Structure 1
């Protein structure tokens, strides 16, 4: 079944007859490691916002699939995507580009190498800003004009005024409450439509495990799904940090379990990533009970 067939008619038209032609089927999307939303409304709302030229902010725990979600949206709109990975070292050059020395016919010249923001604007494609709240608060205001109705920026390195081509859109992702992150200021947050991305569970998680790992034994797969459910519940109850329930880590454990015992796979992929002994013991006890 085509993924877009699951969407309301007026929304699927935004993809199939909109700025980009959609070509990815639901089966292909899963097989290629695409994001399978736990609620089709997540996809509907994201497509709606992007098709109307709005920016979206994917908000959720680590390992919930935010980057996969962004890649899937890019695939559905059948266009490439430039990426920015935020950190405290992010600066104007990382966003916009930099000058360097080059040679033209044996003559040395100064050449400007475009960065992800300028590239995505000039090509009219998506820009993905990962972990946007890891950047220093004084850095991101550089692109405020890119994120609002103006869709323009003055390149401080070349003085060129850049206006985004049709098709340009911004998808950002945020993990709240982690070490090194800072709260987004209201001026920046107000430039986004916020979409909460929860963990995937149940049958959808089973599809992802079958499509993206080497684990094909159904009974073992069901045990990992139960483990994931127990971990997510423990996170909601405040017994574990969100890292413990990362779907990314669970998929690693599923892969390893095809060659080493599942409990050891869980130890390497999940338990040893945790900092608190109390949390490590909690997860090990769950693994002992299930496996």
Structure 2
């Protein structure tokens, strides 16, 4: 099983540009094995940040994208039938706690609240995970850390962490980088030149000004990278921006027209 956990090691350094003191703060939290919350808009770099941290620490990173259908068994594990009969299979949280990985629960507020309560014993001084179905009590490996993320822009009464859960964590706020840093990221990740990257970032900045005025969320850094890669491969800027940026984030014709106007302002008619 140790070989299995090593499959979650990140071998090559992920490209990540710090925007403040977030790396040093997280490293300090890891030394205390403090559970952490990463808060920020979609596509702003939370997952890449965790990949970079796991590489820097040389610790396995087990990521689970949470959803409203996720059950407790999806987290901790279940009995399954195979050729040898009924066999227990650890879930991602159990695997991380047992063997000392970082467990990253992405968009944790999408999971049902009764499911997230399972993490409580792991996020206080006990650092234990009861497996009731198996009759086992796991004491978390010394290297284990739990990290969760969510987008505060999509919070609601029905989709939020309970206070009893939030207060068990430290938290870092993530935002889209400033224009110069974001342009560098787009250049590096997509392969376009500085001029194209700066224009894409300008369009994204305009779109983010529409948040709450027709858009739930502006164009993300991830979308800029996709558009840049299309342009690098010979797709026209207008077509690339439509495919990767302006059409995915809204179905509203008037908002799409406004976004197209931003594209024209930067790339011309």
| TM-score (structure 1 length as normaliser) | 0.81
Verify the 8 A CA contact 2:105 2:148 in the aligned structure 1: yes
- Which residue in the other structure is 1:243 paired with? 217
Indicate the SS of the match to 2:44.
coil
- Which residue in the other structure is 1:53 paired with? 33
Q: CA RMSD in A?
A: 2.1
**Paired residue total:** 255
Cα distance, 1:227 vs. partner? 2.1
- Which residue in the other structure is 1:76 paired with? 56
Q: 2-side partners of 1:286 and 1:177: how far apart? A: 23
Structure 1 residues 24-43: aligned runs within 5 Å: 29=13, 32=14, 34-39=15-20, 41-43=21-23
Cα distance, 1:225 vs. partner? 2.5
Cα distance, 1:242 vs. partner? 5.0
**Structure 1 residue runs without a partner (length 5+):** 1-22
- Which residue in the other structure is 1:92 paired with? 72
User: How far does the alpha carbon of each residue in 1:214-248 deviate from its partner, in whole angstroms, 9 at most, with x for none?
Assistant: 31x3322221232233333443xx44535332111
- Which residue in the other structure is 1:8 paired with? none
Cα distance, 1:179 vs. partner? 8.1
- Which residue in the other structure is 1:189 paired with? 166
Of the three residues 75, 88, 97, the one matched with 1:121 is 97
Judged with a 3 Å threshold, the aligned counterparts in structure 2 of structure 1 residues 177 and 206 are, in CA distance, closer, same or farther, namely closer
Structure 1 residues 164-243: aligned runs within 5 Å: 164-178=140-154, 182-215=159-192, 217-235=193-211, 238-239=212-213, 241=215, 243=217
Verify the 8 A CA contact 2:208 2:217 in the aligned structure 1: no
Q: 2-side partners of 1:71 and 1:252: how far apart? A: 19
**Structure 2 residue runs without a partner (length 5+):** 1-9
Q: 2-side partners of 1:102 and 1:223: how far apart? A: 55
- Which residue in the other structure is 1:149 paired with? 125
Cα distance, 1:269 vs. partner? 0.9
Q: 2-side partners of 1:48 and 1:233: how far apart? A: 34
Verify the 8 A CA contact 1:202 1:225 in the aligned structure 2: yes
- Which residue in the other structure is 1:12 paired with? none
Cα distance, 1:109 vs. partner? 3.1
Cα distance, 1:154 vs. partner? 1.2
Q: 1-side partners of 2:26 and 2:130: how far apart? A: 28
Cα distance, 1:59 vs. partner? 0.4
Verify the 8 A CA contact 1:38 1:200 in the aligned structure 2: yes
Verify the 8 A CA contact 1:231 1:240 in the aligned structure 2: no
- Which residue in the other structure is 1:257 paired with? 231
